[in-house]
Amino acid sequence: MENTRCENCIVRQFNSLRAMSKEELKRVSDSKTTKTVKKGEPLFEEGDKLNGVYCVRNGVSKLSKLSPNGKDQIVKLATRGEVMGQRAVIAEETSNLSAVAVSDMEVCFIPKDSIATTLQKNPNFTMEVLRHMAHDLKEADDVIVNMSQKTVKQRIAEAFLYLKNNFGENNEGFLALTLSREDIANVVGTATESAIRIISEFKKKGLIHTSGKQIGIKDERKLKDLAQGF
Amino acid sequence: MENTRCENCIVRQFNSLRAMSKEELKRVSDSKTTKTVKKGEPLFEEGDKLNGVYCVRNGVSKLSKLSPNGKDQIVKLATRGEVMGQRAVIAEETSNLSAVAVSDMEVCFIPKDSIATTLQKNPNFTMEVLRHMAHDLKEADDVIVNMSQKTVKQRIAEAFLYLKNNFGENNEGFLALTLSREDIANVVGTATESAIRIISEFKKKGLIHTSGKQIGIKDERKLKDLAQGF
DNA sequence: CTCAAAACCTGATAATTATCATAGTATTGC
DNA sequence: GCAATACTATGATAATTATCAGGTTTTGAG
């Protein structure tokens, strides 16, 4: 694998690393390692002590947490440009989430030392990280409200719209990110069978079209209305 | 109202203001204003532009978000030492949450300027804020999992345990923080009637005792088991 | 290619939760 | 003190969601 320098990495534009100085970036670049992770493989597990953060260059990872009843709740999908493990490294705690690739990925592992020293010395960088975390926190609040106040049907409609907005569609009109039915159920927090049933219903009503695992949005207007509760 | 100086305020130990220098603290103290807020009164509303943060000296506030179906979801209860509005001020966004007092409160309003300048100049303070936000984010993840994977019964059991652990009991063995049934329902994300029904059931089973609005924990062991799903 | 495992799908049923209706019980303002 | 108002409580019922059980289809390893 060619070892692209962080200085030239486009992905950096999307995350807090853009607030680093040339020298800081150089140090990060020298200490980082690039890995490929196949779909289905874990990056880290809940409870792991993380020695650094993972910057996503390509692909998507699900961040999930095991609930006492044995089900996995997907809390977030991390894509190109996102930095995973930041929270745990900053709080100096073990990870509260597991990360598993849902598509083939290319990630850069950045040891925590180079992050920690920059955090102490470059207030711009620290502020940038802070802003990102503030954004994540707001999103988490939104998820809490959705989970507790919307029906499964509404949440699934919303999930499809989210997938379209964040990962786009391929040239056949299907969502570019294909999740298994089980993963969809774990995003919205329901039983796999319930998710499948609602997907079938959406298909029957002409809101979506499917082909195997693939799902495409057919009537975005109606899906949006449904997500809002009409 | 006597205007206690931040320098001497014990509450400061619990939040990020403890990372401020003497001079910074002095500036904050000079610019802050102290307010009392009666139970039921709002501190700010969802969508408000906040010109500063609120540091809780006494009392408790609910932080909630209106869902499209018209129900209010309580996302967090902020108590002594907590700083409200931090997220919005840092992200330079309007507040995504409303804050309403659930008991009589005493809060200090700190204009954002004195916060912002300290954020830029004192990396220790920024890091401290970052650590607090990292903690909040983890808690939010936990709430998401609870909301989506646990039953209403489990969530109510958990809420009572949470109230005991975080706000304690009075000398008659009741939870020190008394919430209305509606607020309990809004914490847990269910209909008020459902919450009341389950509270009655818990009482009948000897898990709790009640007197008017007041609730006391009687069998903590069983409540814990229930919250875990046994 | 083949076949076993995994994923998907549907039906029947049970459990959970929301909604509506109604009545009792506190609280509060005048 | 009393009426208006808000809060608490419970029943009846409907809607939502989970679970179990069975198929079918897809996938991937050998």
Chain segment A89-100, per-residue pLDDT in tens = 999 999 999 999
Region A160-185: what's the mean pLDDT? 96
Q: How many angstroms separate the most distant Cα atoms in chain A?
A: 58
Name the least confident of A1-10, A154-163, B193-202.
A1-10
Q: Is the pLDDT of residue A177 over 50?
A: yes
Region A66-82: what's the mean pLDDT? 93
What's the confidence (pLDDT) of residue B211? Answer: 94
What's the confidence (pLDDT) of residue A1? Answer: 47
Contact (CB<8Å) A131/B90? yes
What's the confidence (pLDDT) of residue B210? Answer: 96
| Contact present, A65 and A97 (Cβ < 8 Å) | yes
Packed helices A123-149 and B112-121: angle between N→C axes, nearest 10 degrees: 130
What's the confidence (pLDDT) of residue B229? Answer: 86
What's the confidence (pLDDT) of residue A40? Answer: 94
Strand D–CB B180 distance below 7 A = yes
Q: Is the pLDDT of residue A145 over 80?
A: yes
Strand D–CB B213 distance below 7 A = yes
Q: How confident is the model at residue B212 (pLDDT cuts 50, 70, 90)?
A: very high
Region B196-220: what's the mean pLDDT? 96
More confident residue, B183 or A7: B183
What's the confidence (pLDDT) of residue B13? Answer: 83
Arithmetic mean of pLDDT over chain B = 94
Q: Is the pLDDT of residue A18 over 50?
A: yes
- Distance (Å) of CA B83 to CA A125, A209, B16, B71: 23, 47, 8, 25
**Model pLDDT for residues B52-99, shown as the tens digit of each residue:** 999 999 999 999 999 888 899 999 999 999 999 999 999 999 999 999
Closest-CA residue to A32 (of A120, A119, A113): A113
Interatomic separation, CA of residue B17 and C1' of nucleotide C19, rounded (Å): 47
Q: How confident is the model at residue A13 (pLDDT cuts 50, 70, 90)?
A: confident
- Distance (Å) of CA B19 to CA B74, B120, B126, B143, B230: 29, 13, 9, 28, 43
What's the confidence (pLDDT) of residue B167? Answer: 96
What's the confidence (pLDDT) of residue B216? Answer: 97
CB count in 10 Å sphere of residue A43: 23
| A191 contact B CB<8A | no
Contact (CB<8Å) B145/A75? yes
**Model pLDDT for residues B147-195, shown as the tens digit of each residue:** 999 999 999 999 999 999 999 999 999 999 999 999 999 999 999 999 9
Region B111-126: what's the mean pLDDT? 92
Q: How confident is the model at residue A3 (pLDDT cuts 50, 70, 90)?
A: low
Task: Look up the ipTM and state it.
Answer: 0.92
Which residues in chain B have Cβ-Cβ distances shorter than 8 Å to A65?
A: 141-142, 144-145
| B196 contact A CB<8A | no
**Model pLDDT for residues B1-54, shown as the tens digit of each residue:** 456 899 999 998 889 999 999 999 999 999 999 999 999 999 999 999 999 999
What's the confidence (pLDDT) of residue A2? Answer: 54
Sign of the C-alpha dihedral computed for residues B94, B96, B100 and B103 taken in this order: negative
Which residues in chain A have Cβ-Cβ distances shorter than 8 Å to B146?
A: 67
What's the confidence (pLDDT) of residue B1? Answer: 47
Q: Which two tokens stand for residue B218?
A: 């009687």
Question: A207 by DSSP, 3-state: which?
Answer: coil
More confident residue, A2 or B138: B138
Tell me if the pTM is above 0.90.
yes
| B49 contact A CB<8A | no
Q: Nearest CA of chain A to the CA of B219: how many Å?
A: 21
Give the chain B residue nearest A70 (alpha carbons): B149
Q: Is the pLDDT of residue A175 over 90?
A: yes
The residue type at B113: D
- Alpha-carbon span B46 to B95, nearest angstrom: 5
Q: Is the pLDDT of residue B124 over 70?
A: yes
Strand D–CB B193 distance below 7 A = yes
